[in-house]
Structure 1
Amino acid sequence: MLLENGGFKSFGFHFSGEHQNAVAGLYSVGWERESTHDYDYDGMKRNEFGKYVFQYTFSGAGKIEVAGKEYTLAAGKAFLVQIPSEHRYFLPDDSEHWEFMYITIYGEEAKRSFDFVNEKLGTVIQFSPESSPIKLLMSIYQEAVSRNITDAYESSAMAYSFVMELYRYALNIGVSTEKWPKQVEKAILYAKKYYPSQIGLNDLVAESGLSKYHFTRLFHKTTNLTPIQYLTKIRIDKAIELLRMTNYSIDDIAKLVGYSNGNYFIKVFHKRIGMSPGQFRESKYTVPVDHVMTD
């Protein structure tokens, strides 16, 4: 269940089942990169009805107009809107691209959650890449890419879980959620998407727009990990997922998580987990991954 490097996809779901309207249903999920300025959605001119859109920016910038106000949607910003309603979101002329992930849900509980979050936090909200709603959104997208959402009950459960994470986030905002520096968020979002490629520190530095010295200091201050430790954590977490849920060979898993050399992957995995990937796969125990320490 890996994000496809460079592949932008969208998925629609049309399952029967009245529980979806009564509680929550999943209508669509996708990851897009828009670079033409024809991308322009008017919330009063769409065919959908009773749908709720959550859209999160990974890179570039878009804009949204709501109630006569215009907001810039840079990396880490999300918006929540109802369809239909008076809003318009688009790629502005001064932005070269807008890369984002979105989820569209519906149902009575979806409406209540979006109303609550909009009232408490507004239409445009800052989310850390490590926040639970964004992690869950990426997970739902991965499930769609892997064709694992096959009936109304799975899709409804995912939509409801997302609704609950929005509730939790809105209730905890300002208590346990801190705003991360924009440069760190951009690098983390880049790492989360492109970890299957052989990216490294220089790529994260370039994405941040800072010097290597200032970026590494700021990143460590924010996350308590170096950029390479963080990237390695992403890769090992995904490797663990693949070891548990697939029969892929160790060499194949190494390549899928960004290591060209299977032997080096085994070395890194053993240093973090305390056993080889093969031993981990055979073990009945669950080994938690909270921090990654690498050379």
Structure 2
Amino acid sequence: MNVSCEDERYYLFFPESEWLLPAALVNAGHEDRRHDRPYEFNGMCRGSEDLAIFQYTLDGEGELDFAGERFRVLPGSAMLLLVPEEHCYRLPKHSGHWEYYYISVNGVEAVRLFREFRRRNGFLIDFPNNARVVKCLEEILRKLRERNADCQPAASSLAYDFMMALLQSAPRNTLPKSEKLLPQVSRYCLARLDRPVTVAELAHHVNLSYWHFSHRFKEETGESPYDYILKLKFGYASRLLQNSTDSVKAVAFACGFSDAGNFCKVFRRLFGKTPAEFRRNG
């Protein structure tokens, strides 16, 4: 086994591999990324072999692009990602650092279970720091630190332990089915029209996983949470354009857009005209 350990980074490679095992540990670690060196990973640029990645934020903040949206990855949140896949995560400019645990596994059965768990629970999940999966990851790091994974079956056992801990840590969705989402979501968004609001943030607010929240919201309202957020923000924008003399840039900022160009682009897609044309034509 060749193990590289720098700032708690472990890479496992067994040149004498003779077993095609259902779960294999590829790497694991504990890192605290800062802006002294670039940190960005694209899921389509990491090879063609199936790989499951679990990354749990301890402190600071990360940023994830997934399914056409951008998500803040805050302390207590875990990203569940697959390779190859269209996603990209990074240390954003506004965050001073991003501290996290991570583990990557492969093997047909491990990836299958990981994929199914993510389908049911979402790709961005909140776990308390005493969750079984977090404690298991800490124990795996301890064993790697003590070099207790010196052969392929031992490393496979750690990967299997992680997958079982993950399955046992499935989030419990605590919002009763009888309770409607729309009033809570509407109040939350209307109080925050001047800043970005993500679907993951709304899911966290109502104590649901991303997947369950998105599914229930669309079932209840007939539209996606993302479309609903846009509807509220641009409804507000249209009223500001009609009833104030604020510049387009000021209106964009008031609706939570730091980039006025992107605001104008989305506005034109929704209204069929630019903000300036909309204002002139009433």
Amino acid across the alignment from 1:40: E
Residue 146 (structure 1) aligns with: 146
Q: Which residue is 1:135 aligned to?
A: 135
Tell me the CA shift for residue 48 of structure 1: 5.8
In structure 2, distance between residues paired with 1:86 and 1:51: 13
Matched ranges for 1:80-229 at <5 A: 80-170=80-170, 173-174=172-173
The SS at the match of 1:26 is strand
1:32 maps to 31
Superposed counterparts of 1:244-283, under 5 Å? none
1:129 and 1:39 map into 2 onto residues whose CA distance is 24
Separation (CA, whole Å) in 1 of partners of 2:11 and 2:111: 19
Give the distance between the partners of 2:65 and 2:146, measured in 1 at CA. 34
Stretches (4+) displaced over 2 A: 17-20, 172-175
Q: Residues 11-30 of structure 1: matches in 2 within 5 Å? A: 11-15=10-14, 16-20=17-21, 23-30=22-29
* In structure 2, C-alpha distance between the alignment counterparts of 1:84 and 1:160, rounded to whole Å: 21
Percent identity over paired residues: 32
- RMSD of equivalent CA atoms: 1.6
Are the equivalent residues in 2 in contact too, given 1:113–1:166 (CA < 8 A)?
no
Structure with greater Cα Rg: 2
Cα distance in 2 between the residues matched to 1:95 and 1:103: 22
Aligned residue type for 1:160: Y
Residue type matched to 1:88 in 2? C
Return the letter of the residue paired with 2:20: H
Asked if structure 2 preserves the Cα contact closer than 8 Å seen for 1:42 and 1:89, the reply is: yes
> Cα deviation per residue 1:132-163 (whole Å; 9 max; x = unaligned)?
00000010011111111101111101101111
Where 1:159 maps in the other structure, the secondary structure is: helix
TM-score, normalised relative to structure 2: 0.56
Secondary structure of the 1:46 match is coil
- Relative to the length of structure 1, the TM-score reads 0.54
Query: Could you list the per-position Cα deviations for residues 147-186 of structure 1 after superposition, in whole angstroms to 9, with x for gaps in the alignment?
Result: 111011111011011111112222x6237xxxxxxxxxxx
Mapping for residues 227-242 of structure 1, pairs under 5 Å:
none
Structure 1 contact 109–163 (Cα < 8 Å) conserved: no
Instruction: Give the structure 1 partner of residue 186 of structure 2.
Output: none
- How far apart, in 2, do the equivalents of 1:129 and 1:42 lie? 27
- Provide structure 2 residue ranges, at least 5 long, that are not aligned to the other structure: 1-5, 175-282
2:247 corresponds in structure 1 to none
Are positions 1:67 and 2:67 aligned together?
yes
